Structure 1
Amino acid sequence: MGFEGAVWQVRGGREPVGEIVVDETDFPWLHGTFTPGPGFPGVRDLFARELVLTEDEDWETWEEVHDEIRRQVSLVAPDGPVPEFLLHIEGDRAWFRWSDEPFGED
């Protein structure tokens, strides 16, 4: 399956959070243009905090923020929801990886 040009959806509780149009692949990561939806303001600060924690290498707090992102949003591939993902959003760019199976506990 080719990924470039594919549209992935980020969904929240009641409103769409946004869409990602994939324009670059760097396996296992996909990168693309992010277009926010009406639900994005409700999670924008979580994504900003997640990036800061990554840069600071504060993995314990990052896990907490990542878990909250996963509680509030889901990632939907062109052929349906994915059970597990890591998603970063910064400005109009998003990059993510996903799995058809839950990630292992390391």
Structure 2
Amino acid sequence: MFNESWRLAQGNEIIGKLYLSDVDQPWFMCTFEPAEGWETVRNLFEEQSEAMKTGDPERIGISMASIRSLGLRLLPLAGEGEVIPVMIHIMEGEAKFRA
């Protein structure tokens, strides 16, 4: 878990790369670099961001469940192992996750 950069993957498709910029436990704050696979999930993350802005707990829960159902994994750019994010948010070049 002490890697500082990961590929965000759904199955064999790479969604993007995350580069650790800060840790505010339990959150890992990162910059996000989209990859080709980003377009397949972008709308779900945009919906999550909009739901969070409204503060509607039901809408937030639904959007988080949609993202969780993607089966996303964080694969280190260097080294071995993988991290399964419990929660992940991506918005405007920034990402944060809990593992």
| TM-score higher than 0.5 | yes
Residue 94 in structure 1 maps to residue 92 in structure 2: no
Matched with 2:81 is 80
Matched with 2:32 is 34
Contact in 2 for aligned 1:12/1:73 (Cα 8 Å): yes
Give 1:2-13 correspondences, 5 Å limit: 2=2, 6-13=4-11
Matched with 2:53 is 55
| Total equivalences in the alignment | 96
Contact in 2 for aligned 1:10/1:73 (Cα 8 Å): no
SS where residue 39 of structure 1 aligns? Answer: helix
Structure 1 stretches of 4+ moved >4 Å = none
Contact in 2 for aligned 1:74/1:81 (Cα 8 Å): no
Contact in 1 for aligned 2:8/2:74 (Cα 8 Å): yes
Cα separation, 1, equivalents of 2:40 and 2:75: 22
Contact in 2 for aligned 1:14/1:39 (Cα 8 Å): no
Matched with 1:16 is 14
SS where residue 80 of structure 1 aligns? Answer: coil
Once the 2 structures are TM-superposed, how far is the Cα of residue 82 of structure 1 from its aligned partner?
3.0
TM-score by length of 1: 0.77
Once the 2 structures are TM-superposed, how far is the Cα of residue 35 of structure 1 from its aligned partner?
0.7
Q: What is the alpha-carbon root mean square deviation over aligned residues?
A: 2.0
Paired-residue identity, %: 29
Larger RCO, structures 1/2 (Cα 8 Å, 6+ apart)? 2
Once the 2 structures are TM-superposed, how far is the Cα of residue 81 of structure 1 from its aligned partner?
2.9
Once the 2 structures are TM-superposed, how far is the Cα of residue 83 of structure 1 from its aligned partner?
3.9
TM-score by length of 2: 0.82
